[in-house]
Amino acid sequence: MIQGIYTASTGMVALAQKQDQIANNLANVNTTGFKQSGLFTAAYQNLLKNDDDRVFANREFKVDQVYVDHTQGTMRRTGDDLDLCIQGSGFFKIMANDGVRYTRNGNFSIDNMGLLVTDDGSKVMGTEGFIRVEPNEKITITDSGEVIQNGYSKGFLKIVDFQKPYELRRCGNSRFAPINVDAVELKSEGFLLRQGYLEASNVDMIRNMVQMISAHRNYEADQKALHAQDETLDKAVNQIAQVR
pLDDT over 70 (residue 119):
yes
pLDDT digits over 41-55, tens only? Answer: 666 555 555 555 554
Distance CA 37, CA 25 (A): 7
pLDDT of residue 104: 96
Tell me what pLDDT residue 83 has. 97
Cα(58)–Cα(45) distance, rounded to whole angstroms?
Answer: 6
Is this prediction's pTM over 0.85?
Answer: no
Question: Starting at the edge strand that comes first in sequence, how are the strands of the sheet with 192-195 ordered?
Answer: 106-107, 83-87, 192-195
- State yes or no: pLDDT of 238 exceeds 70: no
Range list of β-strands (E), the chain:
37-49, 55-68, 75-77, 83-87, 91-96, 99-103, 106-107, 109-110, 116-117, 123-126, 129-130, 140-141, 146-149, 152-156, 159-161, 168-172, 175-178, 186-187, 192-195, 197-199
- pLDDT (tens digit per residue) in 127-154: 999 999 998 899 999 999 999 999 999 9
User: How buried is residue 18: exposed, middle or buried, by Cβ count under 10 Å (0-12/13-18/19+)?
Assistant: buried
- What does the pLDDT read at residue 226? 74
DSSP labels, 224-236: HHHHHHHHHHHHI
d(CA 30, CA 125): 25
Report how far residue 244's alpha carbon sits from residue 234's, in angstroms, rounded to the nearest whole number: 17
State what percent of residues in the chain have pLDDT above 90. 63
- Helical pair 2-27 and 205-235, crossing angle rounded to 10 deg: 160
Neighbouring residues of 206: CB distance < 8 A, sequence distance ≥ 6 = none
For the beta carbon of residue 5, count every other beta carbon within 10 angstroms. 17
Mean pLDDT throughout 94-122? 95
pLDDT at residue 14, rounded to an integer: 83
CA angle 211-215-216, nearest 5°?
120
More confident residue, 3 or 169: 169
Q: What is the pLDDT of residues 17-72, one digit of tens each?
A: 889 999 999 999 999 999 999 887 666 555 555 555 554 555 666 666 788 999 99
Kindly state the DSSP code that residue 238 receives in the 8-state scheme. I
Distance of alpha carbon 202 from alpha carbon 199, whole angstroms: 9
Whether the per-residue pLDDT at 241 is higher than 60: the answer is no
Closest C-alpha among 152, 186, 154 to residue 168:
186
The answer to whether 34 and 28 have CB atoms below 8 angstroms apart is yes
Each residue of 170-229: pLDDT tens digit?
998 999 999 998 899 998 988 999 999 999 999 999 999 999 999 889 888 878 877 777
